[in-house]
């Protein structure tokens, strides 16, 4: 069933769809009075709801749905800003599907592009919209927050997190292959995990040194070289496997 | 370092790059005599090699490189043919990066499109090229084979495999959440694992019934609804996590 986020709490057991959602439900899905959808309230509860008025896109709540689609830990993805067009969009769409709580792009040493102040708001709004749509499609009850930090230093200051990892392919070459497993076995429900990924050129040695001296642990993601947009998705799948399936 | 697959075994310790690789190394990468790259021989061994002649793209082998980038089990992905443009390409590119041994598309009940005989060879050649490039980029020593089956029945006949799973979101709703973990704990090095995924509309109940009566087990991939192209990538990451990192 189609899911929409609403931005106001119900009044008299009724909610109103925001403009985009109203257009989609009434125009695209051709909903009529009585048509059903699922709505996620600002407090993240999910309800089955029925359309009561097409013009105002008002819905009556039918019953609460018991659904827990969120990862048991808060994952913050931090991705060195990729230069390739479409990669931030792919990371946001798939990262949302796979349960990220927050997705931050940051200007890494080897990031070719930067997001200047005058374009930043527009870039973030564009990606936030993708996260919104992906959260609806994957039936999540939270929309990840999309952010940007203009340096690694700023990122580390803004995201203390209970556990902090950086994906590093050299790590595997040096024989490390269990850091990710160890971390995911240690982390407890409700704790936070910051996972940092390099841009296309990778993370530089000086960045690794800086991070490891700032309580960020290097973790390998297996013996194959993963593209910059693939590594965060691999990582999120592992979090789900360890904490939701095992 | 740039990696290329060569299609002939060395003679007098020299190999010749195939035309596409020769063009890339000599023209795009502007290699000169003495420039180094890595070559993967038809027997999957990897060597460091040096260019000895720009015109013929002949390379001298320098030394063997000890690298094991292949998953310890043979994973065959079988994906219900997606209707959306670009999705087969994404599955092949990312599935190759993540270690699949074979990627088969099949006409599922809810596949909107089919690949007719007259277009099949062209479609497969196009995807095989993507797999080739992704295998080079991710430094694998095998290029996954891309295939097509015109029915689920044909797929099951062609792919006996030691273990067979179908990703099914209803599985999670019915309380199952450990089939994937159980399978990955049971499978032994060198064994094969067929994993089946639905197209955009999902796998139908009759397909599930047919599969479960044919030794295919239903496995949930967590509580979020994954898009048709995301589920196989989630699955491959879990295989790597359980068998390569743990």
ipTM of predicted assembly, 2 dp: 0.95
Contact: B241, A245; criterion CB under 8 Å: no
- In chain A, which residues have their Cβ closer than 8 Å to the Cβ of B46? none
Q: CA triplet B209, B91, B134: central angle to 5 degrees? A: 145
Question: Is residue A176 over pLDDT 90?
Answer: no
Q: Model confidence at A63, in pLDDT bands (50, 70, 90)? A: very high
B45 burial type by CB count under 10 A (0-12 exposed, 13-18 middle, 19+ buried): middle
What is the pTM for the complete model shown?
0.95
Predicted local confidence at residue B113, as pLDDT: 83
Q: Which residue carries 């769809």 as its tokens? A: A17
Mapped onto helix, strand or coil, the DSSP state of residue B66 is coil
Cα angle value B30/B31/B34 (rounded, 5°): 155
The CA-atom distances, in angstroms, between A55 and each of A59, A62, B106, B110, B179 are 11, 20, 43, 34, 47
User: B36-40 and B46-53: which strand pairing?
Assistant: antiparallel
Whether residues B227 and A181 touch (CB distance < 8 A) is answered with: no
H or E, element range at B13: none
Q: In terms of Cα–Cα distance, which of A229, A238, A177 is closest to B134?
A: A229
B237/A237 touch (CB, cutoff 8 Å), yes or no: yes
Contact A138 B68 (CB under 8 A): no
Q: Which residues in chain B have Cβ-Cβ distances shorter than 8 Å to A98?
A: 224, 226, 230, 234
Task: Report the gap between the CA of B89 and the closest CA in chain A (Å).
Answer: 14
Is B154's Cβ below 8 Å from some Cβ in A? no
User: What is the distance between the alpha carbons of residues B27 and A231, in angstroms, rounded to a whole number?
Assistant: 30
Reduced to 3 states (helix: H, G, I; strand: E, B; else coil), residue A58 is strand
Q: What pLDDT was estimated at residue B146?
A: 98
Mean pLDDT to the nearest integer, A84-95: 96
Instruction: Answer yes or no: do B223 and A69 touch at CB < 8 A.
Output: yes
Q: Is A217 on the interface with B (CB under 8 A)?
A: no
**Residue B227 contacts A, CB cutoff 8 Å:** yes
Whether the CB of A160 is below 8 Å from some CB of chain B: the reply is: no
Interchain proximity A224–B98, CB inside 8 Å: yes
Contacts of B221 in chain A (CB under 8 A): 240, 245
Label the pairing between strands B217-219 and B145-149.
unpaired
- Whether B244 sits inside 8 A of A99 (CB atoms) is no
What pLDDT shows up at residue A86? 94
CB pairs under 8 A between A and B: 112
Separation between Cα atoms, residue A195 and residue A164, nearest integer Å: 6
**Does B95 contact A at CB distance below 8 Å?**
no
One-character DSSP codes across A186-226: H--TT-EEEEEE--TT---HHHHHHHHTTT-EEE---SSPP
User: Average pLDDT per run of 10 along chain B, which is 246 residues long?
Assistant: 95 96 96 97 97 96 95 98 94 98 96 89 97 96 97 96 94 76 97 97 95 95 94 98 94
Q: Is the pLDDT of residue A156 over 80?
A: yes
The whole-number pLDDT of residue A166 equals 97
Are A241 and B240 an interchain contact pair (Cβ–Cβ within 8 Å)?
A: no
Q: Is B73 on the interface with A (CB under 8 A)?
A: no
Residue A92 has pLDDT above 70, yes or no: yes
Of B163, B168, B165, B167, which Cα lies nearest the Cα of B186? Answer: B163
């Amino acid at each position: 069933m189609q899911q929409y986020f609403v931005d106001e709490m119900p009044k008299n057991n009724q909610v109103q769809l925001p403009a985009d959602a109203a257009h989609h439900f009434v125009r695209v899905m051709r909903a009529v009075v009585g048509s059903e959808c699922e709505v996620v309230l600002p407090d993240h509860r999910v309800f089955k709801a029925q359309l009561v008025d097409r013009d105002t896109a008002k819905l009556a709540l039918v019953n609460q749905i018991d659904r827990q689609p969120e990862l048991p830990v808060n994952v913050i993805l931090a991705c060195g800003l990729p230069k390739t067009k479409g990669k931030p969009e792919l990371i946001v769409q798939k990262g949302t599907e796979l349960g990220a709580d927050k997705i931050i792009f940051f200007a890494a040493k080897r990031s070719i592009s930067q997001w200047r102040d005058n374009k930043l708001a527009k870039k973030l709004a564009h990606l936030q919209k993708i996260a919104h749509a992906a959260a609806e499609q994957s039936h999540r009850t939270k929309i990840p927050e999309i952010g940007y930090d203009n340096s690694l230093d700023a990122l580390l200051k803004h995201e203390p997190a209970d556990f902090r990892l950086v994906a590093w392919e050299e790590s595997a070459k040096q024989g490390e292959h269990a850091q990710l497993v160890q971390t995911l076995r240690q982390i407890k429900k409700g704790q936070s995990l910051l996972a940092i990924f390099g841009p296309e050129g990778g993370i530089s040695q000086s960045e690794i040194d800086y991070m490891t001296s700032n309580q960020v642990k290097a973790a390998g993601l297996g013996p194959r070289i993963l593209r910059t947009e693939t590594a965060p998705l691999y990582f999120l799948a592992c979090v789900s496997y360890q904490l939701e399936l095992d």
